[in-house]
């Protein structure tokens, strides 16, 4: 059975879809990966369509789009035939978000290293706690070192929350690769962005064990 990672955070624009796509491509190097888009905005689905037509898409991925009562079944089905299933969720706390979190081995919450992003994650954290799911936070668009980042790290630790020790910086490479249906490990395997994503994959795999 594969591991299911639900990328969730009530705040829009925190990088859920971008992160799901980047992690999926990097994880697919040596594993069977499915991505499940349950956001009605369908950005990950569009990314997948671009990907299907790109000769630069080096890694094979399964892409699925679903919502509603069939979601749990779809997750089970994908789990049976893949090593990792990444679910990209909408920026709301609704029944689909609950279904995705319920079916997840890990709830991955991207956030800018600033207090309002942690405040915005409260609904997702509460839902994960209700469903007794493991949670990992990951900093996105993070400056290497800032007072605010340090302050937030302290706040996260004080609350007993788990923060992945690999953060993603703000890099045009992420958005550029996404716009072409690709991952940074495909568009620029030697770039800092690709390094960050590979490090995030290692941290993520460790968090799943």
Ligand X SMILES: Nc1ncnc2c1ncn2[C@@H]1O[C@H](COP(=O)(O)OP(=O)(O)O)[C@@H](O)[C@H]1O
Closest CB to Mg ion among residues 2, 15? 15
Phi-psi region of 105 (alpha: psi -120 to 50; beta: other; left: phi over 0): alpha
Per CB under 6 A, 16 contacts ligand X? yes
Closest CB to ligand X among residues 145, 158? 145
Per CB under 6 A, 92 contacts ligand X? no
Phi and psi for 105 in degrees, rounded to 5? Answer: -80, -30
C-alpha angle with apex 90: 89 to 93, nearest 5 degrees? 100
CB neighbour burial string for 37-59, b if at least 16 within 10 angstroms, e if fewer: bbbeebbbbebbeebeeeeebeb
Distance CA 31, CA 183 (A): 15
Per CB under 5 A, which of residues 17..56 are in contact with Mg ion? 17
The option from Mg ion, ligand X, none interacting with 187 (CB < 5 to 8 A, set by class) reads none
Closest CB to ligand X among residues 99, 141? 141
Per CB under 5 A, 11 contacts Mg ion? no
Per CB under 6 A, 18 contacts ligand X? yes
Residues that bind Mg ion (CB under 5 A): 16-17
Residues that bind ligand X (CB under 6 A): 12-18, 43, 91, 140-141, 168, 170-171, 174-175, 178
């Amino acid at each position: 059975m594969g591991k299911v990672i639900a990328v969730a955070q009530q705040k829009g624009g925190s990088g859920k879809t971008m992160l799901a796509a980047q992690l999926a491509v990097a994880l697919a190097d040596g594993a069977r990966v499915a991505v499940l888009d349950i956001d009605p905005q369908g950005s990950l689905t569009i990314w997948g369509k671009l990907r299907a037509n790109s000769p630069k898409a080096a890694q094979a991925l399964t892409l699925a789009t679903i919502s509603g009562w069939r979601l749990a079944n779809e997750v089970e089905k994908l789990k049976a035939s893949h090593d990792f299933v990444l679910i990209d969720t909408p920026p709301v706390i609704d029944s689909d978000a609950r279904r995705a979190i319920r079916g997840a081995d890990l709830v991955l919450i991207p956030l800018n290293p600033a207090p309002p992003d942690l405040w915005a994650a409260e609904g997702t954290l509460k839902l994960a706690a209700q469903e007794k799911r493991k949670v990992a936070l990951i900093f996105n668009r993070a400056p290497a070192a800032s007072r605010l980042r340090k302050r937030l790290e302290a706040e996260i630790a004080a609350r007993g929350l788990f923060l992945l020790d690999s953060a993603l910086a703000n890099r045009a490479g992420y958005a550029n690769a996404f716009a072409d249906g690709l991952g940074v490990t495909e568009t620029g395997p030697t770039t800092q962005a690709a390094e960050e994503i590979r490090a995030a994959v290692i941290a993520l795999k460790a968090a799943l064990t």
